[in-house]
Structure formats: structure tokens, C-alpha cells
Amino acid sequence: VILYARVTYNECPVGNQLVAFQVNGPANGFYNIIVVRTNFTDENGLTQISFRIPWPYENAEQIVFGEWIAVATTSIAGKLVMDTLTFKVGWILSISDVVTLNADFIPQTHFIKGEDIVFNLTIENIALTNKSATIIINAQDALNHPIMHTEFSKDFQPGKTNLYVSSQVPTETVTGNATISVCIYTSPPDIGGVPYSPAFLSEIEITGAIERYYLSVKVEPPYVTSIFGEGWYNKGANVLLNAPEYVPGPSGVRYKFNRWDVDGTIEYGNSVTVVMNTNHTATAYYIIQYYLTAKTDPAEVATIEGEGWYDQYVNVTLTAPTVEGYEFKYWDVDGVPISEGVDVVTVYMDEPHTATAHYKCTLPIWGWMLPWWFYWLLLPILALIIALLIFWLYRRKKRKKAQEAFQKGWTAWYYGYDLRGGKRKILK
């Protein structure tokens, strides 16, 4: 490691100035490294020191790897000044984690012969620039026979990178624990590449072929929905199936979950767990529900109890409540009148229905019972009467002004003679 320092005063270099350096390694529970060096500046105010990072025989990574702090101290114009610098020590590129996954990208450490395997690699680059590297994955079975080998090259950006590498467990593999080794090289080893860091080692267990059973998942009626979970499973696997409580259908129609039937065994919860000890068939049964709309005419005269969803083929009884100022007349279902004067109706739910309770208004005026439509006519009649009254008052006032103007004026008659000696009247 080479550290540089430059000493200036009023932006001018200071030569022949003693500078002291102290470098502290990362704090740890084994041994804390401290490096102390001194040197004088040259005519440009520059100085440098160098040292080699120690590598203890034991616990080297815990002692050396981490953040180091360097402090440079000198005296300028009788004042003590210092500057600090931090840098990180570690493998430039390293494999920080390897997770084995199955074909569905679910973490797994037990694999059968012939099964697909996916390696999820985490590569860390602590440099400030991209680094090119070659990654080699090797696997050996319990007898140290090579069973998998993958090699590829890639550029890695600073920070962490995740990679997925697919492979397959050979069918001729010996059962037992297999060792996985993942190492990152500066370049392919056959052209002189060397490891950036030690190999990452892990183990998986390889077993012989195991029994697998098929789970068939059905829905009745079959067009209602589809439920995830059908497929092949290892013997002894627990498979959780979930059926939605409601499935929407056409307007006014929906499907409600009723029960599970697993090979003739009935389960009423929406979720059921199937133990794959043989082939199974799980069927989710749904029942049809229809919506019953209950309303009044005139609208919102009363609230009819009973509106909502009902199972197919049930009878629903609705009762029209007594409403003050209104007289119940009859029910209609989907526009068809039923039982005039009877306030109870039964609706057979073979499809969505709308039941309407019809009322007529009977509010009294001056002791008279008037039909409801009278109140719709009352307001325009009153408005017409008021308009006529205003018009009559206007005409009366206008006529009175005309008479007063006539009485205030005057007229006179004069007699004159024309050239022939006849008389004629002249109005002035």
C-alpha cells in the first residue's frame, strides 16, 4: 500500500516538512494492526510511505478484511494539522453466497438423480471499476467423482451481482453428500488465470429415484374457475389447495364454494391439505347463487327486507311493510303483477329476480283522502294561479294609468269656413 501526502501553506508547497503517518486496521477480537511511518516532503510539498498488509497465519480475514483508517499529521506555522483517509481491504472479487434451487427456483438441498438444479450465485466486487472474471462451478459426488462442471466469463460492476446458473444431477451419480465448489478467476485457468479469492464450498444431498404421485384438481361446475396445484409430487409431500369463497358470474349470478371432495372424503373448508401417498383427485364443488332485488314504487317509499344473494332453487318470502300515508296495492316480480292487495309474495330463485311493491299515496287534505298523483299536479296548478293573478294585476294597473292620463288632457272645437263658404270643425 502506498500513501501520499501534500503539504501547502497559503496554497504554496512546503518542502522538507516532516509528516507522520499512522494506519489502523479494522477493529477485531484477535489482533489490531497499527502501522506508523514518517517521511519528509520534497520541493513540491509531496511525501509518501509504503507498507505491505500483513497476512496472519490464523484468522487472517477477520483481522485484515474491513475498513482501514490512515491519518497524516504535520506542523504548519506552529499549528498541528492532519488529514484522514479510509480504504477497504478484502478480496477484489469474491463469491459471497451460493444457494441451490430446484427448477421452480425454490431453495432446496436434497436432489434426486436426473433432477434439475439451479445455482444462485452472489458475487461481490469491492473495486471502484468493472472487473472481468471467469467463474467455474464444479461438483463431486460422495466418491469424489466429478458430476457437474460449468465455466463462463463475465464483467462485474462494483457492488453485488446475482447470477442464476442451471445444471442437472447426472443419473449415474452416487447417492450421498455431493460437494459444490464455486471459484472466481482473473481469466480462464487454461490461459493462466488465478483465483481472485478462495472457492466457496457447499454441500447437497443426492438420493436415488423416489416415488412420485399425481394430484388431479377439478372444479364442479367445470367452467366456474381454475385452482392451482395439479401436478406430480414426491411421495409424502403435503400439497395445500385453496378454493376462492366466491367467483363472479354474469349479472346477478355468482358461485359460492361448498365443499372439497378428495377421493370421496368431504372437507368443508376452503383450504385442504392433500398428503401425496398415492395418486389423488381433489374436486371443489360450487353452488349457484342468484341476486334478488327488492324495491318499491314510488321509489324509496320503504325498505323491503330480504334483498340479497340466495342459493339456486330456494323460495324467498318478502313482506311489504305498512307505510304511513300510502296504501299497498300489489307486488310484481320481473314486471308480472302478483296477488293484488296481498302484501306477502314468495319468489322462486331459479334466476336473478326483481320484486317491486307498489303503493299509492293517501295523504289527507282538509279531511279528504286524495290520490297520490294529485300532489304531483298541485304544484303546477298553484304556479299557474299565481302567474294569472300577477298578469291580472299588471293589466289592471296599466288600464288605470291610461284613464288618469285621458282625464288630465283637454280638447276644444272651432268652426271655420272654407273657400266655398262651408263650415267645418277644427279640433285643437
Q: pLDDT at position 362, please?
A: 80
Q: What is the pLDDT along the chain (428 residues), one digit of tens a residue?
A: 999 999 999 999 999 999 999 999 999 999 999 999 999 999 999 999 999 999 999 999 999 999 999 999 999 988 999 999 999 999 999 999 999 999 889 889 989 888 899 999 999 999 989 999 999 999 999 999 999 999 999 999 999 999 999 999 998 899 999 999 999 999 999 999 999 999 999 999 998 877 789 999 999 999 999 999 999 998 888 999 999 999 999 999 999 999 999 999 999 999 999 999 999 999 999 999 999 999 999 998 999 999 999 999 999 999 999 998 899 999 999 999 987 889 999 999 999 999 999 999 887 654 455 555 666 677 788 888 898 888 888 887 777 766 665 555 545 544 555 545 554 544 44
74 pairs with which residues across the strands? 81
Contact 312, 350 (CB under 8 A): yes
Contact 173, 147 (CB under 8 A): yes
Regarding beta strands 212-220 and 280-297, do their DSSP bridges make them parallel or antiparallel, or are they unpaired?
parallel
Contact 146, 140 (CB under 8 A): yes
201 pairs with which residues across the strands? 181
Contact 376, 361 (CB under 8 A): no
Grid cell at residue 386: 299565481
Q: pLDDT at position 428, please?
A: 45
